[in-house]
Amino acid sequence: MRRILRRHTRRGVTTVEMAMVAPLLIFLLFGIIEFGLMVKDLMGINQAAREGARTAATGTLPETVLARARSSAPSVNGDNLQITCEYRSFDPVTGGWSEWQPLGAQADGTNNADPGDQVRVRVSYPHQLVTGNLFAGLADDPENGTIMLSTSIVMQRQ
């Protein structure tokens, strides 16, 4: 009789434990999914910045640099990429670098960075959270559920 009574008193314990642990496990699962998608987008914009900087380092016009960067990020929407191209020169007198200046075009069909200058391509992308309001508190723009991802690549102008 005692053995039967003990079995009946523990009958709902597994259900209660599962009800307590399931929300945490689901939260962790969605967090892993969201983080993975963010890393995928970050790798895409990093590739775009790398290709843009490589193209700018060869002396290509800024319009071509922007087009190359946009086409080099297949995992993200190229229309949402915010891309800036800049350069700076080394001053041997002061032993330091000048301020970053916008990359422009010259009459000979090249950009205005001289060989030896540094060119920098910065790319930003608003990553749309797929989990909606679950992680909206972490978002840069909670109303739209987006987190701004940014990267920057610097190369020497050839």
pLDDT at 134: 79
pLDDT at 149: 96
The Cα-based distances of 107 to 66, 99, 104 in angstroms read 19, 23, 10
Beta bridge partners of 97: 90
The Cα-based distances of 42 to 50, 75, 118, 151 in angstroms read 12, 9, 23, 8
Residue 2's pLDDT band, with cuts at 50, 70 and 90, is low
The closest of 142, 135, 150, 115 to 41, measured between CA atoms, is 150
pLDDT at 135: 80
Summarised one tens digit per residue, pLDDT across range 19-71 is: 999 999 999 999 999 999 999 999 999 999 999 999 999 999 999 999 999 99
| Tokens describing residue 22 | 């399931």
pLDDT at 112: 95
Residue 5's pLDDT band, with cuts at 50, 70 and 90, is low
Chain-centroid distance, C-alpha 157:
25
pLDDT value at 4 more than 60: no
pLDDT at 13: 87
pLDDT at 138: 75
pLDDT value at 8 more than 70: no
Summarised one tens digit per residue, pLDDT across range 120-152 is: 999 999 999 988 777 877 777 888 888 999 999
Chain-centroid distance, C-alpha 23:
29
pLDDT at 154: 98
